[in-house]
Structure 1
Amino acid sequence: MSVFLVFTIFCLLYFAVLGVEIDDCKPTRCMKHGPTIRFPFRDKNRSPQHCGYPGFDVLCNESKETVLELPFSVQVAVKKINYVLQQVDLYDPEKCLVKKLPHLNLSTSPLQFLSTEKWDFILVNCSDASRRGLFYSFPCLGDSSSHFLAITESEWDNVGSLDLTSCTRLHKVYVPYNVRNEKYLHLRWSEPACSGCEAKGKWCRLSSKSTSGGHQIQCVHKPNTTRASMGPMVGGAALGSCLFVTILASLVLLYISFRSERQNHIKIEKFLEDYRALKPTRFSYSDITRITRKFSEKLGEGGYGIVYKGRLSNRIDVAVKLLHNSKGNGEEFVNEVSTIGRIHHVNIVRLLGFCAEGSKRALVYEFLPNDSLEKFIFRSAKTSLGWRNLRDITLGIARGIKYLHEGCDQQILHFDIKPHNILLDRNFGPKICDFGLAKLCSKEQSGVTMTIARGTMGYIAPEVLSRTFGRASYKSDVYSFGMMVLEMVGGRKNVDPNVKTSQVFFPQWVYNRLDSEFGEDFWARVEDGENGSIAKRLTIVGLWCIQWSPNDRPSMKEVVVMLEGSEESLVIPPNPFAATDGTSSVAGIIQGRHRHHQIELPSIQESEYFSA
């Protein structure tokens, strides 16, 4: 693969250099004797954008006339281009140039009238043919019953005793005086200034130093006919060689990819065959397309796929996660369906169905309108949750994890508990989601073997990162839960780079004040009465859950008891941290918590609906 990539880069570099020699901006014509089209003009249908200057685009119509596009969609044909004098003569292919005048506005065009003497003309429509002798008429605009005349504004103001009751004023145009007597419109341009290059016998083109803020030009030699004819031959031979090798390498890679994808497909189909008794609804890919209305409403995107909003035929809103083909070799899909597909709990998101059709895989979940917990608990949240809501949400999450650990035939270890993976229903009831990293193990096992660390930094238990702290087990989910609870209490990430070094690790900062001489003042200022008690209870539970040793952490069953019991029964846990002396004002932080229902510290927000 790396050799193929290097070869492809080499080919691209080669043709980039070759492109300097082989000019892709050669002059063109629409017809044999038509005007030559070259810089600053370009044929927009045949030449790259860098071959021309903004405002000078032309095209060839069906009659092979050279048509210039002016502002406001005005199109006129080009009769002649003088590149030395920087002038262009235009005409109307329909032989009625005056018809274009009401729509002609050159204020935004690099092209301007050649004549600097311009007049205000008024176009009038007269039903009386006798009026035609008074002013300059335009037969091409009228018919037997209407006659169009052009009158200068001064003539209009001085018509005096003339009877113009049969005439209707139409438009006022500001054009050179002689335009009403000629078939051609003469324009000039000052930018780009190429007359100097033309005087030296050279041509003009955009400089490679041009930026989005401005366009620079440079003089270049006229192309050499012999050299230009050899270029395609040399380039063609080199291109042929590169294409042959590239196609051959692509075929080999496609074969390898096809074989790998086929193995993944067989793996998933075998799993689904074994899973028939418990499987949710299986959808076809056409069903998924219909449910999501052709993937019209995107909810979020992450490492494993994109999530779209959809609706089932029974008017139930759903969230559809379309999995990336390159992620997990089917492991994400199998983990989700094998774990969440077999359980039903009020605090676990429900898997309604799935799709496995060739390389296309999707998961269909119940739709939860309030997005994730992460959206509400940090300082930047537009809507904050009160302490009672935080308590109820924490208890619901704890019950959901307890069910995963104890309520199924096998233990389900989530390994990615964090605010982003807690979704909230219409009544802010929590539901655990995203089982892509989950593992199944028997309840008799003391732990599971981890080949690589699983989870999100900041929530990963020490034993998941290193066997020094023990084996990964259900206690690893307890640790992640504890970190999340402390974030809910503090309203900030557990590691915040924007605070002083001695206060960076928030759980340690809280513990140092939990039982200090400031402790009573700390909790009293959170909010009076019941809310202060809730904050203290959640903090103590969170600190118990993040003990370094898995043996010192409670089970989720014990956590539920602690959350439902009385405050007097709670015991402050051992200190798992090194002693620090935080110096910031406790009162200031607590007052911020009182104002916003969460401590006023920066946070990092994610926009994904699931950690897809």
Structure 2
Amino acid sequence: MDLHFSSRLCLFFFMITIHLVHFPTHVSAKDVQNLNCSAPFHCANLRNIGYPFWGSNRPEYCGYPGFELDCAGDVPKITIMDRAYKVLHINNESRRINVAREDYWDYNCPANLSNSSLNFSIFNYASDTRNLTLYYSCPASFMNNISGILLPNRFNCSIDGKNSNNYYFSWDSNSFNSSISSAIGAYFRSCANSVVIPVWQSTLRYMVNNLNSVNLTCALRVGFGLQWHANNRLCEECEQSNGNCGYIAKTGEFICYCPNGAYSSSCHSRTGIAASVLGTMVILGILLIVIQALIKKKTREDDRNVEAFIRNHESLAPKRYSYSDVKRMTKSFRDKLGQGGYGEVYKGELPDGQLVAVKVLKNSRCNGEEFINEVASISRTSHVNIVTFLGFCYENKKNALIYELMPNGSLDKFIHNDRNIKLEWKTMYQIAIGIARGLEYLHRGCQVRIVYFDIKPQNILLDEDFCPKKSDFGLAKQAQKKESAISMLHARGTIGYIAPEVYSRRFGGVSHKSDVYSYGMMIIEMVGCTKNLDDEVTDTSICHNLIYERIEPGNDFQFDGVATEEEKKIAKMMILVGFWCIQTNPSERPSMHKVLEMLEGSIENLQIPPKPSLFSAT
């Protein structure tokens, strides 16, 4: 028996027993609150709206935080993550809401070009929702470059009073091989701005066959679907007992308003002190009997959580394979490609002949949470510098993730001193830029900001053209707001690459700037500060001090392996950018967007960064 888990379980039951003997809350206001929450709620053109929505003449305690409706106009509006959406339809039975972005309601060219945002603690995209990307201010030669690859999905938009070249495109509605995807990505990156907007899958399918700006405007007005989560199970119990669902903002608890009082879950949940005491005695009597059984069921609960996640995200998650399928595609795990703390990676082949990498997860690592985390994060991505996720297996503790095969393996084998394989400086430079583009996409291009938290050479895979792709999203974390800090209970990442604020909050808050630090450590390592991750941190500090001395004013920049002036510029640029990224204070680090500007700009425009304080004392 897990003693730590048993203690927490006992505390959990103890809190339940205390809660059971409480008297019903808000008894003095039971009539007013029950009547207010049972009254019909009409908002603009929508009728008979129920919990969790509130607003206008419906009090906040009849709803749930994040579901306030603005009923002033012809169509209700809801604000999600500081962005206004028009509410087109609400289905209380299926708990679905159909919304459309207000700023794209009448015009495809709003003043503020930014991606759609969503609070995933209370909303999920409906299963039949797909992404549409709008690209603004593309070069005049854009159509000549992509002719033969894409249809001309063009729309009108005037920016600063001038007409510009603008296109819309959906990666979900097209299937390309890696070389064409790389070419398309390169062309689209030449556009000044891009905005990702969800739309219905059926709408997207119609647009592919009927391309014009009018259809784009109509598609954005039709909007997309969301599923809401607001104590759904408790509300269902409450309504089945003829109660009205509500919420206590002061304590953050669900409440059921009934004719005879307010209760924690349903109108039948407590009938008086006698029933409460009886319930307490029953729970205490069976506690010692059930605790062992609950411990045994803990693993099953993890499995159910994963299964529930797979069902809820069926449209996002790739194909699910059985364990026998995994054995068949890997020929009984015959060809091993690598091994790490997560498990082992084997070479495989899908039925259509595509070669894949199969990552078989260790049971000790894959406790459900990290499996869900990886599938949820990488399923939301589509980028040339992120490895393509093709499928997964979750079957009786036999868990595996299936990715496209990267023929050149991971970056670490090309940069460590104990290897004879060396890459040209130009190739190293392009790899650094590709990694930065992938991180910028995770931080700015996804529907939600994804912070990777495990940037290291072992997680950067290289295809046949040495194009870098990030893999292993097991430690990634989604941020609720683009500029908000991320709350974490424990440090995550690999020693040697973890940002200072991740393991000690005295250095600042954890955010996307933590990824910037890890990226800086890695490109300095790529240039020449190679190390064994088992070495002491002070060894890395000494190495960084020696490298920093070479870029200080008055010192002649010399570097082993640098033969030409062009290679010298590449090495110096990567070192300068790397030291900007590893500044101790997160606010002094550039964003990944700024990092790309620095790498792709002129070295003459780069200033020498201050020496990071963590290394200054060495």
TM-score, length-normalised on structure 1? 0.51
Instruction: Say whether the 8 Å CA contact 2:495–2:533 is kept in structure 1.
Output: no
* Counterpart Cα distance in 1 of 2:393 and 2:321: 5
Q: Give 1:580 deviation, angstroms.
A: 6.7
Structure 1 equivalent of residue 424 of structure 2: 386
Query: 2:565 matched to 1:529?
Result: yes
> 2-side partners of 1:530 and 1:350: how far apart?
33
Distance 1:485 1:335, change over 3 A: same
SS in 2 for 1:319: strand
Amino acid at match of 2:415: I
Question: Structure 1 residue 545 and structure 2 residue 584: aligned?
Answer: no
Match of 1:95 in 2: none
1:289 equivalent in structure 2: 327
User: Which residue of 428, 435, 442 corresponds with 1:397?
Assistant: 435
How far apart, in 2, do the equivalents of 1:417 and 1:498 lie? Answer: 19
Q: State the identity as a percent.
A: 50
Match of 2:603 among 560, 567, 570: 567
Map residues 65-464 of structure 1 onto 2, 5 A cutoff: 258-464=296-502
CA 1:365/1:530 → structure 2, altered by over 3 Å: closer, same or farther?
Answer: same
Supply the distance in 1 between the matched residues of 2:409 and 2:615 (Cα, whole angstroms): 38
CA shift digits 1:137-168 (9 cap, x unpaired): xxxxxxxxxxxxxxxxxxxxxxxxxxxxxxxx
In structure 2, what is the equivalent of residue 492 of structure 1?
A: 530
User: For residues 2 and 378 of structure 1, do their structure 2 counterparts lie closer, same or farther at Cα, with a shift above 3 Å needed?
Assistant: same
SS in 1 for 2:420: coil
CA contact (8 A) 1:483 1:494 kept: no
Residue aligned with 1:447, SS: coil
Letter in 1 for 2:398: K
Q: Tell me what 1:511 maps to.
A: 548
* Contact kept in structure 2, 1:512 and 1:579, CA below 8 Å: no
| Count of residues in correspondence between the two structures | 333
**Cα deviations across residues 280-318 of structure 1 (Å, max 9, x unaligned)?**
111122211111112222222222222211100111111
Report the Cα distance in structure 2 between the residues aligned to 1:550 and 1:350, rounded to whole angstroms: 31
Which residue matches 2:613? 577
| Aligned CA distance change for structure 1 residues 578 and 284 (closer, same or farther; 3 Å) | closer
> SS of the residue aligned with 1:329?
coil
* CA apart distance, 1:496: 9.1
Instruction: Tell me: CA distance 1:359–1:257, structure 2 relative to 1, closer, same or farther (3 Å).
Output: farther
The answer to whether the 8 A contact 1:307-1:321 is kept is yes
CA separation of 1:491 and 1:523: change in aligned 2, threshold 3 A: closer
Confirm or deny: 8 A CA contact 1:486 1:542 kept in the other structure: yes
Letter in 2 for 1:572: I
- Show structure 2 runs of 5+ residues with no match: 4-289
The CA deviation at 1:526 is 3.0
2:590 is matched with: 554
**How far off is 1:361 after superposition?**
1.6
2:517 maps to 479
Task: Give the letter for the 1:361 counterpart.
Answer: N
SS in 1 for 2:527: helix
Change (3 A) 1:342 1:531: same
- Name the aligned partner's letter for residue 506 of structure 1: C
For residues 447 and 505 of structure 1, what CA distance do their matches in structure 2 show? 31
Task: Tell me if structure 2 keeps the 8 A contact 1:437–1:455.
Answer: yes
TM-aligned CA deviation for residue 342 of structure 1: 2.2
Q: What SS does the corresponding residue of 1:363 show, helix, strand or coil?
A: strand
RMSD: 2.7
State the Cα distance separating 1:524 from its structure 2 match.
10
Q: Which amino acid aligns with 2:564?
A: D
Deviation for aligned residue 1:258: 4.3
CA distance in 2, matches of 1:274, 1:404: 22
Q: How does 1:5-16 map to 2 (within 5 A)?
A: none
Q: Partners of 2:562 and 2:583 in 1: how far apart?
A: 24
Distance in 2 (alpha carbons) for counterparts of 1:253 and 1:308: 40
SS in 1 for 2:367: helix
CA distance in 2, matches of 1:302, 1:417: 15
Look up the SS of the partner of 1:288 in the other structure: helix
Relative distance call for 1:398 and 1:578 in structure 2 (3 A) is closer
Structure 2 residue identity aligned to 1:414: Y
Q: Which residue type is aligned with residue 379 of structure 2?
A: G
Give the equivalent residue in structure 2 for 1:187.
none
In structure 1, the gaps of 5 or more residues are 4-251, 583-612
Q: Separation in 2 of the partners of 1:503 and 1:517?
A: 24
Q: Deviations over 1:413-471 (max 9, x none)?
A: 11000111101111111011111100011233421111000000110001001110111
Amino acid at match of 2:306: I
CA deviations 1:34-84 (Å, max 9, x no partner) are xxxxxxxxxxxxxxxxxxxxxxxxxxxxxxxxxxxxxxxxxxxxxxxxxxx
Q: Does the 8 Å contact 1:422/1:430 carry over to 2? A: yes
CA distance in 2, matches of 1:578, 1:359: 42
Cα gap change, 1:294 to 1:509, in 2 (>3 Å):
same
> How far apart are 1:578 and its partner, in Å?
7.2
Partner residue in 2 for 1:465: 503
**2:558 aligned counterpart, secondary structure:** helix
CA contact (8 A) 1:496 1:504 kept: no
Does the Cα contact within 8 Å between 2:531 and 2:540 map onto a contact in 1? Answer: no
Please report how far the alpha carbon of residue 577 of structure 1 lies from its aligned counterpart in structure 2 after TM superposition: 3.4
How far apart, in 1, do the equivalents of 2:482 and 2:491 lie? Answer: 23
AA of the residue aligned to 1:268: V
Counterpart CA distance in 1 for 2:455 and 2:435 is 10
What amino acid sits opposite 2:549 in the alignment?
N
Give the letter aligned to residue 550 of structure 1: P
Alpha-carbon distance in structure 1 between the residues aligned to 2:353 and 2:514: 39
